[in-house]
Amino acid sequence: MKAKVHKIAFVGDHLPRKCGIATFTSDLLAAVATAYPQSQCLSVSVNDIKGAYEYPEVVRFEIDEQDLSSYLRAADFLNISNVDIVCLQHEFGIFGGLVGSHILALLRELRMPVVTTLHTILQEPRADQRRVMQELISLSTRLVVMAERGRQMLQDVYHAPLAKIDLIPHGIPDVGFVDPTYFKDQFGVEGRVVLLTFGLLSPNKGIEYVLNALPDVLAKFPDVVYIVLGATHPNELREHGEAYRLSLEILAKKNKIEKNVVFYNRFVDLQNLKEFIGAADLYITPYLNEAQITSGTLSYAFGSGKAVVSTPYWHAAELLAEDRGVLVPFGDTPAIAREVIELLEDDTRRHAIRKNAYRLGREMIWSNVARLYMHTFELARLGGAGASRRSILTKTLAQRPRELPELKLDHLLELTDSTGVFQHAVFSVPNFSEGYCTDDNARAFILSVLLDELGEDQERGRSVGTTCGAFLHHAFDTNKKRFHNFMGFDRHWLDEQGSEDCHGRALWALGMAVGRSPSRSFQMMAGQLFARALPALTDFTSPRAWAFGLIGIHEYLRRLSGDSLVNQTREDLTSRLMELFKRNSLPDWRWFEEGLSYDNPKLAHALILSGRATGQRAVLECGLQALRWLTELQISEKEHFRPIGSLGFYPRGGMRAPFDQQPIEAQATVSACLEAYRATSDYWWYAQAQLAFDWFIGWNDLGLEVYCPETGGCRDGLHVDRVNGNQGAESTLAFLLSLTEMRLAQNMLTSFEQLIAAEA
């Protein structure tokens, strides 16, 4: 499944705060960001102690747990940041107000869908707890539970609609099925049988019952060592200090088992945790409270293929069923001793339990959990933020998009050799004498990345992408820090340096590879070249070069949002385009320049992207205003797309050239209008993108097809009386890029229609 959600905010606790929710939020965010690098992920973290945590860069906003106004400020931040989805981690105890009610104030103000993961579901809530939970359910677009029992309780106790509940297991790291002996020597327990309990320590964990069971276990297996891993829970530590841990140490001495018990009083990172789990022969969770719908510690051990002995709290009872573990009654010391001994005596049974657990655990690894969450995010996004929005979308999507042509790369491959993509063709035959150019190889590189995202013809697309990526790398002059543009068929450069626009297009292509390509090689090559080529952009005077560069910067920052130099460059170039618009715009001429020439929509496109990404409403509105003016200008009296002609263009106050009409103008319009649609959810923009695309397939001034359905190529434009029969790279790539972008957008619309039909 391809990500259609571009910006996700995870609201909850975050590491380095020491609690289970913080670990979960951090791990989930990292998993989604890794699996879907084209989606920007950020965190809004709740602080129980003001200024106590040194958060990573991904934490963009902090909430003071008990300060109601800070929840409202967080809502404002999320709204102006153009977040597509809020993923809330809910646990009553981490939010301020009566039974955590402050979080409802934040949710009421949000203008985007909310996916809420419920870490606690009470079977017998008090009246105030029920009220908070029911409003939370109402304000959430979708709900995530980690156990089937949780789904059932939401329906039975809180009357939550089944259609909005998704079951997604607690995520776990992906570890191998390894013999515990492999890890034991680093902990000094080689040759011994290791029992393990880990997690933040508090009195409801029932550790004392295991300590009381150990004398019987040691009588049979004297080489057993019991490791209790984890710091005391911060809330317990603040209220009671280390009294519980001290009581456990005293109990161990009283039972004369102190040589067989190890307390690791620290909050370990994931790598160390995996090693501790790896060394364990048995894992024990002796928790005392049945009403625990999820346990991260149990999930980690279970998914690592450990034989587990546990009390039957809700999550354990479900996870350990069908010989995937052993359950013992709450607070039953003899039962713990008996089951531990029997498992240690019966290697066959213990290993069978391990294998059963590990097999199911493969469904719980973070990469799979991230995929399931993204599916839920997409459903939430497509379902809208509320009933009113859903009804509007249902009405507008009655306008079904037209069937799109088949995507064919045949002609593009004919235009491509081992060096790169040829510029021109004589009809459909490559014109060797015109050689290659960086502009077209950049466009082809962008296409390869989009094909990967679309999931169509990926092998051939990647082959073209590899060739074009190598061309871009070779085109960069390391001394001048500029790209060449034109290369002859003999592989010699024909220019001292390329144009500013060529440089901007190359940066756009490189940014796409960094931000969206699943290929690590593409990412690394493109990222290094992007960093070397970016500084020259700020010395340019071409507005189109700025715009191409801004689009590349936006794509680059999808993956590397913390790059301060790139962010600063975006701010600088955005300001320049805004100033250009203010200087040249008039009531009847809402544009950046005193004339319309080529690739016009890219100027507005760059502002829409930058304004949306940075939360600058004025920038976004300026881009939308300019694009709407241009789009309406290019609609003919017969309501088909009519781009500005290249034979004279359109100077302000002068005559508008009707021909030659170029495919690049249709492509730029498709791309910009689709971005406007994503930014606004206004179906009018999608319709304009469809109109511009239809220019290729015959809805134009001459009523003639510009693209070639047999090969996927595209003719070089419309003359006053005919179609230009040559199928060059710029035109062919303009069509293929338009088709790919329309397919990506149409996939989203189709998914929404299916969702509406299913709900009906």
Distance CA 327, CA 321 (A): 9
Mean pLDDT, to the nearest integer, of 697-726?
A: 95
pLDDT, residue 747, reads 61
Which residue, 607, 527, 529, 535, is CA-closest to 559?
Answer: 527
The tokens for 176 are: 């191998």
Note the Cα 319 to chain centre separation in Å: 28
H-run or E-run covering 482: strand 482-483
The tokens for 393 are: 């979308």
Q: Is the pLDDT assigned to residue 430 strictly greater than 90? A: yes
Kindly give the pairing relationship between strand 40-47 and strand 7-12.
parallel
Which residue, 114, 49, 43, is CA-closest to 74?
Answer: 43
Q: Is the pLDDT assigned to residue 394 strictly greater than 70? A: no
Confidence of residue 400 (pLDDT cuts 50, 70, 90): very low
131-165: pLDDT as tens digits:
889 999 999 999 999 888 889 999 999 999 999 99
pLDDT, residue 191, reads 82
Which residue, 361, 15, 10, is CA-closest to 170?
Answer: 361
Q: Is the pLDDT assigned to residue 446 strictly greater than 90? A: yes
pLDDT, residue 209, reads 94
Mean pLDDT, to the nearest integer, of 448-469?
A: 90
Distance CA 58, CA 60 (A): 6
Determine phi and psi for 638, rounding to 5 degrees.
-90, 10
CB-CB neighbours of 758 under 10 Å: 9
CB-CB neighbours of 145 under 10 Å: 24
Task: Give the global pTM.
Answer: 0.53
pLDDT, residue 275, reads 79
Mean pLDDT, to the nearest integer, of 497-509?
A: 98
pLDDT, residue 748, reads 54
The tokens for 98 are: 């009566």
H-run or E-run covering 198: strand 193-198
Confidence of residue 457 (pLDDT cuts 50, 70, 90): confident
Distance CA 280, CA 229 (A): 12
pLDDT, residue 386, reads 41
90-105: pLDDT as tens digits:
998 889 877 888 899 8
Confidence of residue 749 (pLDDT cuts 50, 70, 90): low
552-601: pLDDT as tens digits:
999 999 999 999 999 999 999 999 999 999 999 999 999 999 999 999 99
Distance CA 285, CA 197 (A): 6
510-565: pLDDT as tens digits:
999 999 998 888 999 999 999 999 999 999 999 999 999 999 999 999 999 999 99
pLDDT, residue 388, reads 31
% the chain with pLDDT above 90: 64
Say if residues 717 and 696 touch (Cβ distance below 8 Å). no
H-run or E-run covering 687: helix 683-694
Say if residues 29 and 10 touch (Cβ distance below 8 Å). yes
Structure-token match 């040759």, residue found = 191
Say if residues 381 and 5 touch (Cβ distance below 8 Å). yes
Q: Please classify residue 142 by burial: count the beta carbons closer than 10 Å to its beta carbon, then call 0-12 exposed, 13-18 middle and 19+ buried.
A: buried
pLDDT, residue 303, reads 80
* Helix 543-559 × helix 500-516 angle, to 10°: 10
pLDDT, residue 671, reads 98
What is the average pLDDT score of the chain? Answer: 89
Determine phi and psi for 20, rounding to 5 degrees.
-60, -35
Long-range contact pairs involving 240-244 (C-beta distance under 8 Å, separation at least 24): 244/201, 244/202, 244/203
667-684: pLDDT as tens digits:
999 999 999 998 888 889
DSSP assigned state of 203: G
Say if residues 14 and 43 touch (Cβ distance below 8 Å). yes
Which residue, 446, 500, 445, 501, is CA-closest to 469?
Answer: 445
Residues 6+ apart with CB under 8 A from 667: 692, 734, 735, 737, 738
Rounded alpha-carbon distances, angstroms, from residue 95 to 54, 90, 110, 598:
20, 8, 17, 54
* Helix 564-584 × helix 617-633 angle, to 10°: 50
Q: Is the pLDDT assigned to residue 2 strictly greater than 50? A: no
DSSP assigned state of 407: P
Say if residues 610 and 570 touch (Cβ distance below 8 Å). yes
The greatest distance separating any two alpha carbons of the chain, rounded to the nearest whole angstrom, comes to 100
Residues 6+ apart with CB under 8 A from 561: 40, 42, 57, 567
The tokens for 196 are: 């393990």
Structure-token match 């491959």, residue found = 413
The tokens for 723 are: 């179609």
682/498: higher pLDDT:
498
